Structure 1
Amino acid sequence: MTSPYGPGLRHSHAEDVYAFLIGCSLIVMGLMCLHKAGLVTGGVAGIALLLSYLVPLTPGNLFTIINIPFLLFAIRAMGPQFALKTTIASFGITALASLLPNVLMLSYVQPLFAALFGGTVIGMGILSLARHQAGVGGTGVITLWLQKSRGINAGRVQIMIDAAILATSAFFLPWEKALLSAVSAFAMSSVLMVFHRPGRYIGH
């Protein structure tokens, strides 16, 4: 992966590891905030959160299960390197989601703050991974593939996918939580719309 500052400059393995730790940690922090407030968001994270309120599985475990078909698609659509890094990130998120509650516990998160902060930090986590040629799997694979292959803005595509996820969540959540979940999804996608544009530093 080349840097925008000059040809031939690549991230080192240490830089990739650091970015993965930051990205996965931010995503898990966002998930914890949203889950404590009983909200969902967009993408595979939102699907995992919504299902966690309906079935006896944690968001982290559901995250990995849902991701499997998308990771298989990533091998074909984005190449083995991206697929490998995305798989590592996916399982990293699952592992951190299991470990972080042992060192950090949330007793209360104000719902509007959870929506804004949770959505934003998840978006920043996705951005951190994307700039090191990885994704979190799920719908993110589709949006990044469309941006790479067709030049379609990843954030705008994500908003359309998120709209479908949020419309579904409205059947299972109280209206006020469904509304705040939409705020969360908008906050997450806005990060990608602003900072992850074609022609900027997008990891290729």
Structure 2
Amino acid sequence: MADTNATVKHSRLDDVQGMALGIFFSALGLHVLTQVGLITGQTAGIAVILSYLTGWSFGAVFFVINLPFYALAWKRLGTEFTVKSLISVTSVSLLTGFLPAHFAISHLSPALGAVIFGSLTGMGLLALFRHNGSLGGLGVLALLAQDRFGFRAGYVQLIADAIIFSLALLLFPVERVMWSVLGAVVLNLVITFNHRRDRYIAT
């Protein structure tokens, strides 16, 4: 019987292909999200809302918003995680600027768009997590709050998402926000059911 707790050793090539796939899936999911005019939670949600309101590109806003979190990530999660997260965020920012000129969506219902976004971005984040990377942002702040104050990181992220979607209700039509919530639920379910450290431990 296989030892399910065995540590998986990743080679440099493993990391490169895993992160590349995670970056591509995440960027593709975010492209679908913005093409149908929806929003999401976490730092990406803040960037999406600001891009809609200002007309600035999502990629540029997403990159800038993440800058303050790298110092926190370095202190809390180490150099490797911080560097990989910086690479991931920068790559996603560039890809989301590249995709609209090469992949236009003429028609897509908000419901299906939400499911596609949640599925693709959820799988993309899983790939990044398994190779010690992330898309930065509020998740790092949540971990820091858990360390310093004992307040669970998951609760911090839920509160942040609640604030972001509540703000969205003041700015966008209710139906648009509700479909956006569906996308966030799908994304979180993908991660909840598949990101299990007791089943997959990588170094």
TM-score above 0.5: yes
More divergent stretch after superposition (174-183 vs 135-144): 135-144
Matched with 1:77 is 76
Residues 135 and 141, structure 1, Cα contact 8 Å, conserved in 2: no
Root-mean-square deviation over aligned CA pairs? 2.5
Matched with 2:102 is 103
Matched with 2:168 is 169
How far has the Cα of 1:186 moved from its partner? Answer: 1.0
| Bigger relative contact order (CA 8 A; separation at least 6) | 2
Task: Describe how 1:23-34 pairs up with structure 2 within 5 A.
Answer: 23-34=22-33
Matched with 1:115 is 114
Distance 1:93 1:17, change over 3 A: same
Distance 1:133 1:79, change over 3 A: same
Matched with 2:54 is 55
Percent identical across equivalent pairs? 33
SS at match of 1:171: helix
1:68-100 deviation digits (Å, cap 9, x = unpaired):
111221011111110011001010101211222
Q: CA–CA distance in 2 between the matches of 1:70 and 1:203?
A: 24
Matched with 1:140 is 139
Q: CA–CA distance in 2 between the matches of 1:148 and 1:124?
A: 27
More divergent stretch after superposition (75-84 vs 189-198): 189-198
Matched with 2:128 is 129
Letter in 2 for 1:47: I
Matched with 2:11 is 12
Q: CA–CA distance in 2 between the matches of 1:35 and 1:62?
A: 13
Q: Across the two proteins, how many residue pairs are aligned to each other?
A: 199
Q: CA–CA distance in 1 between the matches of 2:147 and 2:195?
A: 11
1:149-176 deviation digits (Å, cap 9, x = unpaired):
98x675x654443222111111111010
Q: Which runs of 5+ in 2 are unaligned?
A: none
Give 1 or 2 for the bigger CA radius of gyration: 2
Residues 82 and 134, structure 1, Cα contact 8 Å, conserved in 2: yes
Q: CA–CA distance in 2 between the matches of 1:147 and 1:103?
A: 42
Matched with 2:41 is 42
Distance 1:203 1:128, change over 3 A: same
How far has the Cα of 1:103 moved from its partner? Answer: 2.9
Distance 1:126 1:49, change over 3 A: same
Residues 63 and 94, structure 1, Cα contact 8 Å, conserved in 2: yes
Q: CA–CA distance in 1 between the matches of 2:192 and 2:49?
A: 24
**Normalising by structure 2, what TM-score?**
0.87
Q: CA–CA distance in 2 between the matches of 1:202 and 1:164?
A: 33
Distance 1:144 1:67, change over 3 A: same
Q: CA–CA distance in 1 between the matches of 2:146 and 2:102?
A: 37
SS at match of 2:68: helix
Residues 10 and 202, structure 2, Cα contact 8 Å, conserved in 1: no
**Normalising by structure 1, what TM-score?**
0.86
